Amino acid sequence: MGMTKVVALYSDKVMDHFTNPRNVGEIPDADGIGKVGNPQCGDVMWLYIKVDNNIITDIKFKTFGCGAAIATSSMITEIAKGKTLEEAKKISRGDVADALDGLPPVKMHCSNLAADALLEAIKDYETKHKT
């Protein structure tokens, strides 16, 4: 069971988002920030959103974790950008995994983390912008 076996479990899309992650970084004046972590594997995700007129106009992430954690963070930013907050709230871990052409079962928790981070960022935004 060398490294080649592990890599074979990942789809080309996962590898692409791991090696060329989209929307990396932070948004200094973010409207909402979500931070989630998984103590078991040590993954930590920060997700930053800019919201204009109820639409996520910009989204960035910083993830410290395994390749799947980085790939799922990258993919969820791609899925969520341009969506309304209501649409973004409905993005599930299944949506993230499907968009990446699947994840090995042992890594499904990473897509869960990404979905949770997005929800946390939206919650943070809603808390700050209660009308």
Q: Tell me whether residue 131 is in a domain.
A: no
Which two tokens mark 91?
């993005």
Say if CB 97 and CB 107 are below 8 A apart.
no
| 14/18 Cα distance (integer angstroms) | 6
Burial (CB count <10 Å: 0-12, 13-18, 19+), residue 76? buried
Catalytic choice (45, 51, 110, 117) = 110
Is residue 81 situated within a structural domain? yes
Task: Examine residue 2 and state whether it is found in any structural domain, yes or no.
Answer: no
The residue with greater pLDDT, 131 or 129, is 129
Look up the domain containing 69 and give its range.
Answer: 9-125
Q: Is residue 3 a part of any domain in this protein?
A: no
Q: Count up the domains in the chain and report the number.
A: 1
Query: Is residue 130 assigned to a domain?
Result: no
131 — pLDDT class (breaks 50, 70, 90): low
Catalytic-residue membership of 110: yes
Domain assignment present for residue 68? The answer is yes
Kindly tell me if the per-residue pLDDT of 6 is higher than 60. no
- Convert the pLDDT of each residue in 61-111 to its tens digit: 999 998 999 999 999 999 999 999 999 999 999 999 999 999 999 898 899
CATH number at residue 22: 3.90.1010.10
Least Cα distance to 47 among 68, 26, 70, 65 occurs for: 26
Compute the chain's Rg from CA coordinates: 14
Q: What is the pLDDT of residue 124?
A: 98
Catalytic residue among 41, 55, 99, 119: 41
